[in-house]
Chain A
Amino acid sequence: MPSVATLVFWFIVLLTVGSSVLVVTARNILHAAFSLCLTFLGVAGLYIFLHADFVAAVQLIVYVGGILVLIMFAVMFSSNVVEDTAAGGRTTRLGTIAGGITALLVFAAIVQLTFKLRAPLEAANQFGGEAYVPTASVVAGQTGLGHLLMGPYLLPFEFVSVLLLAALIGAVVIVRKELT
C-alpha cells in the first residue's frame, strides 16, 4: 500500500501531464489558458515534493499571479474568443502532423536517454533520499538561497533586475499608441 505522500505525488503528476496535454490540444484558446493554470499549479506541487518551497512560492506568485493573468488579458484583448479561436486556434492538418511527429521524436529521445542513464541516476538518488524535515530545513534552505543570490550569483541577479527594467520599458514602447 503506497503512502499518502506517494498518492498525492501521482495525483499531481497526473494533473500536470493531463492539463499540459489539454493546453496544446484545446480548440478554444481560453480553455488552453485555464489548463495552463492547472499545469503551473502542478509544477508548483512538484517543486514542493522536491523540497524547493521558495521556488514553489515564486512559481505560484509569478506564473499563476502574473504570467497567466497577462496571457488571459492578451487572449481577451486580441480575439473574439468564441468564434475566432475555434477556427484560428488550431492550425491545418499538416501543422498538427508535423508537430505531433516532432514532439513524439523529442519525447522518445528524452525517455530513451533517461532510461539509458538509469544506473547513474539511481546512484544520484542515494544522495537525495533523506526524509522531509519541515521547519529547520525549510528555513535553512531559504537562507541558503539568499546567501547564494547575494554571493556567487550577485552579478546575474543585478543583470536580471536591469533586464526586467528593459522589458518593462520595451513593453510600454511597443504597445504605445503613435502620437500623430
Chain B
Amino acid sequence: MPPAIMDGPDALVNYLLVAGVLFACGIFAMISRRNAVGILMGVELILNAAGINFVAFSRFGHTKLNGQHLDGQIFTLFIIVLAAAEAVVALALVLSVFQTHKTIALDEVDEMKQ
C-alpha cells in the first residue's frame, strides 16, 4: 500500500496539509501586513482553512448520519455565512477609518479621533 500522501484526492492528509498552508499564510498576513484590507484577506484565508478541515473530516470521518456524514458541511456553510457578515462589517470599518484618517495603514491609525 503506498503512503497516504500519494493517494491524491482520496487521502485525508493532503487536505489537512493544504489547509495548514492556508492557515499559516493567513497568520503571516495578519501579522505582517500594515494594510487593513490585507489583514482581512489573512482572516479570510484562515476561515477557508477551517472550512476545508471541516468538510474533509466530514467526508473521511467515522460517524454517519442518515447514511451520510454532512455535519461538517453544515459547519462550513455557517463559516461561509459568518465570513460574509464579518467581511461586511470589517470593510465598513475600513471605509470609516479611511474617511477620518485618509489612510488605512494600521500603524498610522493610532488615535481615536481625527
Contacts and interface: CB of A to CB of B under 8 A. Distances in A.
Contact of A2 (B8, B61, B84, B91): B8
Contact of B8 (A6, A51, A144, A160): A6
Q: Size band of the B side of the interface? A: 35 or more
A178 B91 CA distance: 18
Contacts of A40: 48
A74 to B, nearest CB: 4
Interface in B24-80: 24-35, 37-38, 40-42, 44-45, 48, 51-52, 55-62, 65-66, 68-71, 73-74, 76-78, 80
B38 A104 contact: no
A104 B21 CA distance: 10
A88 B37 contact: no
A175 B96 contact: yes
Secondary structure call for the B interface:
helix
A171 B88 contact: yes
B83 A67 contact: yes
Contacts of B59: 50-52, 128
A168 B87 CA distance: 11
B73 A52 contact: yes
A50 B55 contact: yes
Contacts, number: 267
Given A46-B52, A67-B87, A174-B93, A103 B27 contact: yes
Given A71-B91, A167-B89, A160 B82 contact: yes
A63 B56 CA distance: 19
Nearest to A72: B37
Interface of B: 4, 7-18, 20-35, 37-38, 40-42, 44-45, 48, 51-52, 55-62, 65-66, 68-71, 73-74, 76-78, 80-89, 91-96, 98-99, 103-105, 107
28 contacts: A2-B8, A9-B9, A17-B18, A17-B21, A20-B25, A23-B41, A24-B28, A24-B29, A24-B32, A29-B38, A36-B45, A43-B52, A52-B73, A55-B76, A71-B41, A71-B44, A73-B91, A74-B91, A78-B98, A88-B105, A106-B27, A110-B24, A121-B60, A124-B12, A125-B7, A128-B12, A148-B71, A167-B89
